[in-house]
């Protein structure tokens, strides 16, 4: 049975020119967009209003949520139109409402803070971006501790923003080009134009390696996409080598508890499985499953998909799965992909099988 690809966590853009959806994304899915290696300077919070002393009624909360979501969409619309001051103003209003709803230290604040930092960097207001990044790092540290992968993401992004400020304008323009090239890679992959995808990803990776360094984690994301393109070109040896390099990069830069490292392990496991080395694939899948369970818990869809891959691999090798399948996976699939039930799992005593509509992952 074919392995299921676990969707790659999106690489953060060096020029922070992201295009998020118009609904508020779950904070867990905002990274890394993978923030980063040392605390740079004092943690200065973005101006926060005093806490609301009187509790909000249900009606008041609902009105605030509606207004917050309207402002969130408006901010993204304005950013897409290159109206950055207006986009920042709308983002700040979104953040102010989140403070009313959740207080000054809450997971819900991380999404707007990430977006606000992105907009400041795009405008090249690095001082403002640093203030926002420092508050984000402070929140993640208070919520998760200094060693958690989410805190590491915030730390690395802060470090990246400081680095961008130190670069020349020409170097930043090159990184802008690399980001646009990576968008082009994904578009051309979807269109089936694999040679053009290869040209674009190679150029983007070269730019990032020259400006940021061969071992930088942003360069590593382009390396992972290089492996994906080689996969589509059915160049298995080059795909495997690129996946191996990306795995080593993420282990060094992000750490072995990071979900993106789990994705790198999945990619390499796919390469091993494709050439029939199911024992090596299963060993990597076991690591990946353990990382996802620790990061997200057993009620996470990517954890369930990892279990599916592991069950297939150990079935071939004759081993047994020593990790219990997660509960209500079908329900998780419906929650994430809609009532048609894009993902359907069947749990049996011996293995975990699934059906996945084509083109979702």
Q: In percent, how much of the chain has pLDDT > 70?
A: 72
Domain boundaries, the chain: 27-166, 169-275, 287-361
Domains 27-166 and 169-275 share a fold: yes
Q: Are 355 and 329 in contact (CB under 8 A)?
A: no
pLDDT tens digits along 283-297:
999 999 999 999 998
3-class secondary-structure state, position 71 = helix
Radius of gyration of the chain (CA): 21
Q: What is the DSSP string of 226-281?
A: HHHHHHHTT-HHHHHHHHHHHHHHHHHHT-TT-HHHHHHHHHHHHHHHHTT-HHHH
Helix (H) or strand (E) holding 312: helix 301-317
> In this structure, which topology does domain 169-275 adopt according to CATH?
1.25.40
Q: Please state, as a whole number, how many other Cβ atoms lie within 10 Å of the Cβ of residue 357.
A: 12
pLDDT tens digits along 170-217:
999 999 999 999 999 999 999 999 999 999 999 999 999 999 999 999
CA dihedral angle for residue 342, residue 277, residue 312, residue 326, rounded to 10 degrees = -80
pLDDT tens digits along 281-336:
999 999 999 999 999 988 888 888 888 778 777 777 666 555 544 444 455 555 55
Q: What is the DSSP letter of 11?
A: P
Q: Please state, as a whole number, how many other Cβ atoms lie within 10 Å of the Cβ of residue 218.
A: 27
Bridge partners (DSSP) listed for residue 346: 353
CATH of domain 27-166: 1.25.40.10
């Amino acid at each position: 049975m074919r392995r299921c690809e676990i969707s790659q966590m999106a690489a953060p853009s060096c020029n922070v020119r992201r295009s998020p959806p118009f609904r508020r994304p779950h904070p867990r899915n905002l990274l890394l967009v993978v923030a980063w290696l040392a605390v740079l300077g004092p943690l200065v919070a973005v101006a926060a209003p005093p806490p609301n002393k009187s509790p909000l009624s249900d009606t008041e909360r609902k009105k605030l949520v509606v207004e917050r979501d309207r402002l969130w969409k408006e901010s993204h619309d304005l950013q897409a139109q290159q109206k950055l001051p207006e986009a920042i103003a709308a983002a700040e209003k979104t953040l102010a409402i989140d403070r009313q709803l959740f207080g000054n230290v809450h997971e819900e604040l991380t999404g707007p803070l990430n977006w606000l930092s992105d907009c400041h960097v795009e405008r090249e207001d690095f001082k403002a971006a640093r203030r926002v990044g420092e508050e984000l790092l402070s929140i993640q540290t208070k919520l998760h501790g200094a060693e958690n992968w989410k805190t590491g993401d915030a730390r690395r992004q802060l470090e990246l923003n400081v680095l961008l400020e130190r670069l020349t304008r020409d170097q930043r323009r090159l990184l802008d080009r690399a980001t646009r090239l990576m968008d082009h890679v994904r578009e051309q992959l979807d269109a089936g134009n694999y040679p053009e995808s290869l040209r674009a990803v190679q150029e983007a990776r070269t730019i990032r390696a020259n400006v940021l360094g061969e071992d930088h984690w942003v360069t590593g994301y382009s390396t992972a996409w290089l492996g994906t393109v080689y996969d589509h070109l059915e160049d298995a040896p080059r795909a495997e080598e690129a996946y191996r390099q990306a795995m080593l990069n993420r282990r060094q830069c992000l750490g072995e508890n990071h979900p993106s490292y789990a994705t790198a392990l999945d990619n390499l496991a796919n390469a091993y499985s494709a050439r029939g080395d199911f024992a090596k694939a299963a060993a990597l899948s076991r690591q990946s499953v353990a990382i996802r369970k620790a990061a997200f818990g057993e009620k996470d869809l990517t954890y369930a998909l990892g279990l599916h891959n592991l069950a297939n691999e150990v079935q071939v090798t004759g081993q047994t799965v020593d990790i219990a399948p997660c509960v209500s996976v079908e329900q998780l699939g419906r929650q994430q992909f809609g009532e048609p039930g894009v993902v359907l799992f069947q749990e049996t005593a011996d293995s975990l099988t699934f059906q996945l509509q084509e083109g979702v992952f």
